[in-house]
Structure 1
Amino acid sequence: MGPASEVYGRKLPFFLGYVLFVLSQIPVALGHDAPTVLVFRFLGGVTSSVCPAITGGWLADFLLPAERGVAVAIFAATTLVGPSIGAITSQVQLQTAMGWRMTAWTTMILGIVSGVAGFIILPETYLPVVEQRHARKLRQETKDWALHSRLDEKPVSIREFLTKYLTLPISMLVSEPILLSMTIYISFTFGLIYLLFVAYPVSFVQERGYGAIDGTLPLLSICAGIIVGAFYASWSTLTTVKQKAASGNALVPEDRLHPMIVGAVSLAIGLLWFAWTSSPAISPWPQILAGIPIGVGVQVILLQSLAYLIDIYTTGAASAISGTMIVRSLVGGTFPLFAPQMYRKFGVSIAVLIIQ
């Protein structure tokens, strides 16, 4: 959907994917066999990728770099807080009579509410499509049929879209070293957070003896760290803009990378802290508090890397981010598959030290 947003505008592909995502929850909730649930969970994951894939391009359309940094901070925080809170709320829903099916119904209901609100509020911002619609309106009003936009003069055929635009994220990924290296780092960081989503129940439920719900509450410390990281990244961006303005310079994409160093150090410290305090013989509070620097690190790394890619590719950011999303999602979905065996063999402390 990312490349489609650079041909047909941001709004149509975004909400087409969004509607398909909401509809995919129905077979998941009603499915009576594993293949049905797995197939539609897969389709739900594919269609829901429109949000991170297109949002970057959407923000690049109408926000200046300084404003974009704050907007991306808010967006990145929601994409990380969501899974953290979801791990807690899903445990509560599992205790209901509907069990795991309740999570699908809840996702569908929340998706409908937020989707309707977003469709009403969000405008089309992709300039070529806005120009095309404006030209169409002027033709109708003035009866001057010679008025055309750039998109009208060179329309994109279905064949061109399939052969050029649909393959653009992959071709960009393999041909541009900056995008590839950033994608590898983003994907590894994303995989780490999903490994930790498995580590918390193992450490607090299996080793410390917490209940199923209580064992997920320590994830709130990661949420707190994510919020702190969003504030830090926003403050860093605004401070850099002021310093650049005072010297007569403008914000450049590389300015986004400086806070990433702080984020990388914070993440490393948090993982070491978590590993060294995971023994049941130690009070749980130090281990719980380790989630704060972990959240700060993950938030700042993912946020600043996203802002960096948006600054570099601007109107083509959706395709660049789509390529990153493919790899990131594969890593995020694969890492938890081997996590239980890893924690069982090495224990939480050694396993976290290994991935650190």
Structure 2
Amino acid sequence: MAVGQVLEGNTQHRMDNSATSSPEKTSLESPLEDSTGCIDPEEIEADFEVRWDDHNDPANPQNRSKLHRWFIICVVSIGTFCVTYTSSVYTTTYDQIMNEFRCSETVATLGLTSFVCGLGLGPALLAPLSEFYGRRPIYLYSLAFFLIWLIPSAVAQNIQTMIIARFFNGLAGSAFLSVAGGTVRDLFARNELQAPMMVYSASPFLGPALGPLVGGFINQFTSWRWTFYTLMIWSGILLVCFIFFVPETYHPVLLREKAVRVRKETGNENFRAPIENANRTILDTVLLSMIRPFHLLYFEHMVLNLCLFSALLMGILYLFFGAFGVVFEGTHHFQLWQVGLTFLGIFVGMVVAVALDPLFSRNYNRLVQQREAAGGEPGGSEPEFRLPPAMLGAVLVPIGLFFFGWTSYKSVHWIVPLVGSGIFGMGEVLLFSGIFTFLVDAYPMYAASALAANSLVRSCFGATFPLFGNQMYEKLGYQWASSLLAFLSILMMPFPYIFYKYGKRIRANSRHAKS
């Protein structure tokens, strides 16, 4: 992972701002090296280093038309949406699976847990591979294996097959949670990140919100196996879209391809791309990528606390997949398809959060202008300027949870708790978008590791919360169970505010963050 982190964090910024006119005559402005010693500067022939020709080099993905770049982001986000939809749509199959496989609800829930575990473990492997081979091969192979592992789920004859297939299904699909964020960075300059990152950040949560809604109709009126047949059709169409419409976007790999062309055209074997001077093997990089997320969680308090906050929200979201059934079936006697429709509240809240992006973009530009007026560099920014969405989301989440919990009485119309769930969904997307963008901006050399750490912690919570959610709601009651979750979110609420105010001071003392 170190190769990609160095190139994305240091080299790419120089590439975008350098004014070299041709690959025949380039130079290094500073040693290309990180703390791992991944690249030896002495091995690089400065006069033959291949970089982008200038700001307008057509081979640079950031110079593609805005429409094309947004089209790629939409396809990648739909892929992420499909994977996370797959995680939650399974929850609507419980009743049929329990009857057919003669297992308990807890055992049936293990199919959800194993999928989320796969989502959490995959990034440590797939992220570094994408930094050797590029984004496109990882997307294609991962999506192909994702499709393949849907087949044993669809034809399973016992719960053991289902649980194992679901794990590998999640492992393959995790590419979209570990690599897609890099695609956003590849295609958009730093000052353009806000809107595409908001869209991408929303897709992992819109999927879980719509999974029970669609799955409720499928499993109410047909066999549970059609849940997986429809997923096979969807992922097959997606695979075709990726094959024909999603090109390679990873800058170091594109520069390597450019270096190959230059060597072929000139006959001079001295021309090299920075990534070709890496002295680490794939195994070394994979092992490092497995260690570094834990390293960041241990040494970087900002990473740890923000990851715990986002993990708590993910755990609550997955807990709701069972809790909504308990609440609305027990209180309002809803059928399965009606319970699925209750997730429209969360979905609408998430859509509203995405629609607020122009407001936060204007606020971000205002903060940048204030920094310039105070003597900062033109166009300069601070990672903390990415946190206002998270600050608002941190307030909305407990409000939504309290609202949902204390309106879950039979005497209260069912639409009222849905409003509370919508407030929760809105706060969740705002929090995640703010946290994701802050981590990418604050840890540019280690962005992939920071996001992998976030994915790992989130998946741990998302995998375990559904195992006790139903029991908690039945034992504590609908009101106090939701209140307990709200109190936990209140404990985490100050962190976005603390890091907004003191983040720059904390980064100055960090060994990994941008100072």
Q: Describe the SS at the equivalent of 1:279.
A: coil
Q: Describe the SS at the equivalent of 1:286.
A: helix
TM-score by length of 2: 0.66
- 1:167 alignment counterpart: 291
Q: Structure 1 CA distance, aligned partners of 2:283 and 2:484?
A: 47
2:129 maps to amino acid:
A
Asked if residue 145 in structure 1 is aligned to residue 269 in structure 2, the reply is yes
Q: How does 1:76-225 map to 2 (within 5 A)?
A: 76-97=201-222, 99-225=223-349
Go from structure 1 to structure 2 and tell me whether the alpha carbon gap of 1:114 and 1:314 turns closer, same or farther (over 3 Å shift). Answer: farther
Cα RMSD of the aligned pairs, angstroms, is: 1.9
Which of 174, 185, 200 aligns to 1:49? It is 174
Q: Structure 1 CA distance, aligned partners of 2:192 and 2:245?
A: 19
* Cα deviation digits, residues 258-309 of structure 1 (max 9, x gap): 2212111111111111111100111222212112211111110111111111
Segment drifting more, 331-340 vs 7-16:
7-16
Q: Structure 2 CA distance, aligned partners of 1:152 and 1:287?
A: 56
8 Å CA contact retained: 1:57, 1:316: no
1:38 maps to amino acid:
I
Q: Structure 1 CA distance, aligned partners of 2:221 and 2:337?
A: 13
1:46 maps to amino acid:
L
- 2:480 alignment counterpart: 350
Residue 246 of structure 1 and its aligned partner are, at CA, apart by 6.1
Asked if residue 3 in structure 1 is aligned to residue 128 in structure 2, the reply is yes
1:24 maps to amino acid:
W
Segment drifting more, 229-238 vs 198-207:
229-238
Q: Structure 1 CA distance, aligned partners of 2:461 and 2:260?
A: 44
Q: Describe the SS at the equivalent of 1:95.
A: helix
Q: Structure 1 CA distance, aligned partners of 2:193 and 2:328?
A: 38
Q: Structure 1 CA distance, aligned partners of 2:231 and 2:182?
A: 25
Which of 67, 70, 73 aligns to 2:195? It is 70
- 2:150 alignment counterpart: 25
Q: Structure 1 CA distance, aligned partners of 2:149 and 2:336?
A: 28
Which of 432, 435, 449 aligns to 1:319? It is 449
Q: Describe the SS at the equivalent of 2:335.
A: coil
Structure 2: give runs of 5+ residues left out of the alignment.
1-125, 487-515
More helix by share: 1
Residue 334 of structure 1 and its aligned partner are, at CA, apart by 1.0
1:129 maps to amino acid:
V
Q: Structure 2 CA distance, aligned partners of 1:308 and 1:234?
A: 17
* Cα deviation digits, residues 199-229 of structure 1 (max 9, x gap): 2221112221111111221211111110111
8 Å CA contact retained: 2:319, 2:465: yes
- 1:303 alignment counterpart: 433
Taking CA–CA contacts closer than 8 Å with sequence separation of 6 or more, which of the two structures ends up with the larger relative contact order?
1
Q: Structure 2 CA distance, aligned partners of 1:52 and 1:291?
A: 24
- 1:335 alignment counterpart: 465
Q: Structure 2 CA distance, aligned partners of 1:56 and 1:123?
A: 15
Q: Structure 2 CA distance, aligned partners of 1:141 and 1:155?
A: 26
8 Å CA contact retained: 1:17, 1:47: yes
2:227 maps to amino acid:
T
* Cα deviation digits, residues 170-215 of structure 1 (max 9, x gap): 3333332221221111101111112222222211122211111112
- 1:231 alignment counterpart: 355
Segment drifting more, 128-137 vs 170-179:
170-179
8 Å CA contact retained: 1:187, 1:332: yes
Asked if residue 261 in structure 1 is aligned to residue 261 in structure 2, the reply is no
Go from structure 1 to structure 2 and tell me whether the alpha carbon gap of 1:115 and 1:311 turns closer, same or farther (over 3 Å shift). Answer: farther
Q: After the TM superposition, which segments of 4 or more aligned residues of structure 1 sit over 6 Å from their partners?
A: none
1:79 maps to amino acid:
P
Structure 1: give runs of 5+ residues left out of the alignment.
none
- 1:276 alignment counterpart: 406
Residue 234 of structure 1 and its aligned partner are, at CA, apart by 4.0
Residue 140 of structure 1 and its aligned partner are, at CA, apart by 2.0
Q: Structure 2 CA distance, aligned partners of 1:309 and 1:281?
A: 44
Q: Structure 1 CA distance, aligned partners of 2:371 and 2:311?
A: 36
Go from structure 1 to structure 2 and tell me whether the alpha carbon gap of 1:110 and 1:316 turns closer, same or farther (over 3 Å shift). Answer: farther
Q: Structure 1 CA distance, aligned partners of 2:150 and 2:384?
A: 40
- 2:82 alignment counterpart: none
8 Å CA contact retained: 1:4, 1:166: no
Residue 105 of structure 1 and its aligned partner are, at CA, apart by 1.7
Go from structure 1 to structure 2 and tell me whether the alpha carbon gap of 1:13 and 1:174 turns closer, same or farther (over 3 Å shift). Answer: farther
8 Å CA contact retained: 1:6, 1:316: no
Q: Structure 1 CA distance, aligned partners of 2:216 and 2:171?
A: 24
- 2:159 alignment counterpart: 34
8 Å CA contact retained: 1:169, 1:319: yes
1:297 maps to amino acid:
G
Asked if residue 15 in structure 1 is aligned to residue 145 in structure 2, the reply is no
Residue 247 of structure 1 and its aligned partner are, at CA, apart by 5.5
Go from structure 1 to structure 2 and tell me whether the alpha carbon gap of 1:177 and 1:102 turns closer, same or farther (over 3 Å shift). Answer: same
